[in-house]
Structure formats: structure tokens, C-alpha cells
Amino acid sequence: MTYVKWTLFGLIALIIFAFFHYNLPQHDVVRIVGTYQERQDLGDWTRVFWASPDDQSATLTNRDVQFIQAVEVDGDPMVYRNEDTGWGWPPYFKFDTASLQTEADDLKSTREAPKWAVVTHYGWRSELFSIFPNAVGIYEVDSPDVRIIPWVNIIILTMLLLIVLTIRAMLKQFKERSIDPVLEDVEEAWDEVEARADAAGDEVRGVWSRFMAWLGTFKGKPRK
């Protein structure tokens, strides 16, 4: 039973972590090497890893998606998709896909004369499932060893923590002010019921013993 419990807790923690890891913004220092646009089939379960830029895109089985090709500082390739998130999830409210693609094109550089850029993105890259993180912002930096403080993540996680603590305090207050008094009332009412039952029991017992005593009067005097 303990194993079941801890497995469940572990699973929930993992899901929460994965949720935030997927949806919160991350920063990569990369060199942009190209951009392309490719028709994507969106009919299978990996649909959740693509955005829904507008209302009609929810029902389309395939559409063109823009991509940004990059090379990381250590030389690994990285490919981002570049899609509007629109008004949907995750709430980046990104509508400037075309502008971002232009900025990326503008930052293209070669290995010999590298220009470094910080790409802000959310999502995961998986070669196996052909899924790509969605680039949401890009800016140029002078050198690849730039220090990035994730302010947005700090603010979001702090606010979420405050919200959780507030909800906990609310529940505590609700329990203290609304549930406990009712429980006390119930307890008192129950005590009363018990007391009455006891009294009734005593009475019955009294009646019974008087009846037995009365029966006893028919008996003769005990013989010696």
C-alpha cells in the first residue's frame, strides 16, 4: 500500500513538473542558420504538441508551419517551430509569427562569422515524435556566454505559490468558521440524544425493576 501511495505521489509530481517544464519559457543561446516552411500532418496524437493559431486550424489535418533552424553553442542542432499561439493555451498571446520569422532571417550567420542570439521558447524537441519547441521571441547578444535571469519564471512560480498558500488559508478559515461550528452543534445535539437515550434507558430499567419487584411480592417468604 505504501508503494502504491508513493508511486501515485511520484506520478502526480512528475506530471506537474512536466506541465511547467513544457509550458514555461526557456532561453537558448544559439546561432540562427536558416528558416524554412513545411507542410505538417496534424492528424495523430502529437497534435497536442502543435499550436492552434486560429479557429479553423483546430479542424485542419495538415497546414504549413514555419521553422527556425539553429545551432547551439556546443554545436548541437536545434530546430524550433514558429507558430502563433493566439488566444489559446499556453497563454503567450503570440501573433507575431511572421515578424519573428523575419527577425530570425535577419540574424542568420555562418560558423566563420557567428552572430549569437537568445531564443525564448516553450515546449520540447523530440526527434522520435517529430515535435518542436515553439519559439516566442528572439534577440541578439554580443557573446555566447550571456547570463540570463528567468524573471518571467520567477514571477509566475512566485505568484502560483502565493495563490496556493492563499487557497490553503481560505480553506483553513472556511473550516474554522463554517465547518467546525456545525460539527460542534452536531456533537452537542448528539450528546443530547445520548443523554436522553440514557435517561430513557434508566427509566425503562426503573420500570422493569419495579415490575420484577412487584412479581417478587407473589413469592412466598424465602424458606429458611
Partner 1 sequence: MIGFLRLAIFAIIGLGGAYFLMSIYMRSLRREALEKEWDGAVGEGLPSRETFIDEGMAAYERSLRAKLIWLVVIVPLVLFGLVLYLMNFTK
Which of the stretches 40-48, 52-60, 72-80, 201-209 binds partner 1 when contact is defined by CB under 8 A?
52-60
- Comparing CB distances to partner 1, the nearer of 17 and 139 is 139
Q: Considering the complex, what minimum distance in angstroms separates the CB of residue 154 from partner 1?
A: 14
- Contacting residue, 50, 103, 116, 123, with partner 1 by CB under 8 A: 103
- Residue 78 CB neighbours (<10 A): 19
143: CB partners within 8 A, 6+ apart: 116
The two beta strands, 77-82 and 62-72, are antiparallel
Sign of CA dihedral 202, 206, 207, 208: positive
The one-letter amino acid code at 8 reads: L
- Comparing CB distances to partner 1, the nearer of 176 and 192 is 176
Q: Considering the complex, what minimum distance in angstroms separates the CB of residue 151 from partner 1?
A: 11
Question: CB-hemisphere CA count at 13 Å for 61?
Answer: 2
> Within positions 107 to 136, which residues make up the interface with partner 1, using CB under 8 A?
136
Residues 94, 136: contact at Cβ < 8 Å?
yes
- Comparing CB distances to partner 1, the nearer of 79 and 156 is 156
Tell me if 94 contacts partner 1 by CB under 8 A: yes
- Contacting residue, 28, 109, 137, 153, with partner 1 by CB under 8 A: 137
d(CA 184, CA 178): 11
Question: Phi and psi (nearest 5°) for 178?
Answer: -115, -35
Tell me if 81 contacts partner 1 by CB under 8 A: no
Tell me if 202 contacts partner 1 by CB under 8 A: no
Chain residues binding partner 1 by CB under 8 A are 52, 54-55, 86-88, 91-96, 99, 103, 136-137, 139, 166, 169-170, 173-174, 177
